Structure formats: structure tokens, C-alpha cells
């Protein structure tokens, strides 16, 4: 009988480099993982593709999915909704595939409640100043939006101690290495592999 897949939930304030760390990790482990693509009602950023980066829904369609109970978790973040489809996650872990999720703090809390066996990882910046610089240097949002994200980041950072693991993203190779250690540890802890 095949082992069930492990769910890895990765959270971080916007601008911390979470997506970059996950993508770098997946270069070595893409055969071992399925990436859970979140649903959002926000507009796509330059270069983002529907189904690859996010599933982009209208608010009306998102609300219909809520009513039908099709989300494992969902939450409003600033002026938009974000969520994870139940079917995607559960069908993959039942097939023995690991699932890695890029989820905000609210969503991670709901997933941990629904799936206590999920491994939660919080990525933090080396400092709040570095986070502020990263967000401003992205030049993808207005000053007002950056200020909102920084305010939200302060709240999110307070939640980090509720996670199973914390990674400081000071340097990409090091952060990726920590994520690899967590993956190896969790495989060994569960399956002795």
C-alpha cells in the first residue's frame, strides 16, 4: 500500500521571498510534489498565468464555490479573496503525492485545524526593513498598497510561533536548504524513509 502524501503549508508576509524559496526547492523535488495552486479574486500581476500561478476567479464565482463547500480554506485578504480547493489537495495526498501550499496565515490556521497532520512552515525576512525594501523594489503596487501589505506583515509575523518550523530567508540557497531538511525530517518521522 502506498504511503499517503504529506501536506506542507508555507506562509510568509508578502515580499519575504516565499514563492522564490518554494520554486528553488521544487527544482530538485518536482517529482516528489504537487503544487497546490490557490484561487484568488485579485487581478493577475504581469507574467502571471491562470492555472499556473493562481486560478483567477471573479468574486461572484468565488462566493458560489464557498456556498458549495468546495474550499479547504478561504479568507479575505485586503480587498480580495484567496482559497484552496479541497479536491485538489485530498485527491493528491490519497494518491501518495506530497502537496506544497503557498498559503497566508489565516488559511494555514484553517488547514491545520482540518488536517492536523499538515506540516506548517513560516518564512520570515532577515528584518522588517529588508521586507519593506523588497516590497518597494518590486514596483508592482502603489505606495498605499505597499503600506497596507507592511501593516498586514506586522500582524502575520506575530503568528510565526504557531508554526511547526520557521525559516529566515536571508539568502536563497540557505533558505532552500532548510526547506530540504524539513522535508527529509518529515519523511523520516512518518515513514522512516
pLDDT at residue number 193: 61
Domain ranges of the chain: 7-187
- Whether 191 shows a pLDDT value over 70: the answer reads yes
pLDDT at residue number 115: 93
Residue range 20-33: average pLDDT?
Answer: 93
Q: pLDDT confidence of 24, banded at 50, 70, 90?
A: very high
Q: pLDDT confidence of 133, banded at 50, 70, 90?
A: confident
Question: 7-187 is classed in which CATH architecture?
Answer: 3-Layer(aba) Sandwich (3.40)
pLDDT at residue number 131: 80
**Taking Cα atoms as reference points, which of 6, 10, 16 lies closest to residue 168?**
16
pLDDT in tens, 69-104: 999 999 887 789 999 999 889 999 999 999 999 888
Give the residue with greater pLDDT, 147 vs 23.
Answer: 23
Mean pLDDT, the chain, rounded, equals: 90
Amino acid at each position: 500500500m502506498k504511503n499517503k502524501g504529506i501536506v506542507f503549508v508555507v506562509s510568509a508576509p508578502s515580499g519575504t521571498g516565499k514563492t522564490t524559496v518554494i520554486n528553488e526547492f521544487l527544482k530538485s523535488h518536482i517529482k516528489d510534489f504537487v503544487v497546490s495552486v490557490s484561487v484568488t479574486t485579485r487581478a493577475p500581476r504581469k507574467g502571471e498565468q491562470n492555472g499556473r500561478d493562481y486560478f483567477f476567479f471573479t468574486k461572484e464565482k468565488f462566493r458560489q464555490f464557498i456556498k458549495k463547500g468546495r474550499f479547504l480554506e478561504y479568507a479575505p485578504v485586503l480587498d480580495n479573496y484567496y482559497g484552496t480547493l479541497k479536491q485538489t489537495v485530498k485527491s493528491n495526498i490519497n494518491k501518495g503525492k506530497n502537496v506544497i501550499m503557498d498559503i497566508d496565515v489565516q488559511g494555514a490556521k484553517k488547514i491545520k485545524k482540518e488536517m492536523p497532520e499538515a506540516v506548517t512552515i513560516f518564512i520570515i525576512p532577515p528584518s522588517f526593513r529588508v521586507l519593506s525594501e523588497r516590497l518597494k523594489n518590486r514596483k508592482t503596487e502603489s505606495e498605499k498598497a505597499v503600506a497596507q501589505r507592511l501593516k498586514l506583515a506586522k500582524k502575520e509575523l506575530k503568528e510565526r510561533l504557531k508554526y511547526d518550523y520557521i525559516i529566515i530567508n536571508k539568502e536563497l540557497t540557505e533558505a532552500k536548504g532548510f526547506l530540504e531538511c524539513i522535508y527529509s525530517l518529515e519523511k523520516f518521522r512518518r515513514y522512516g524513509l
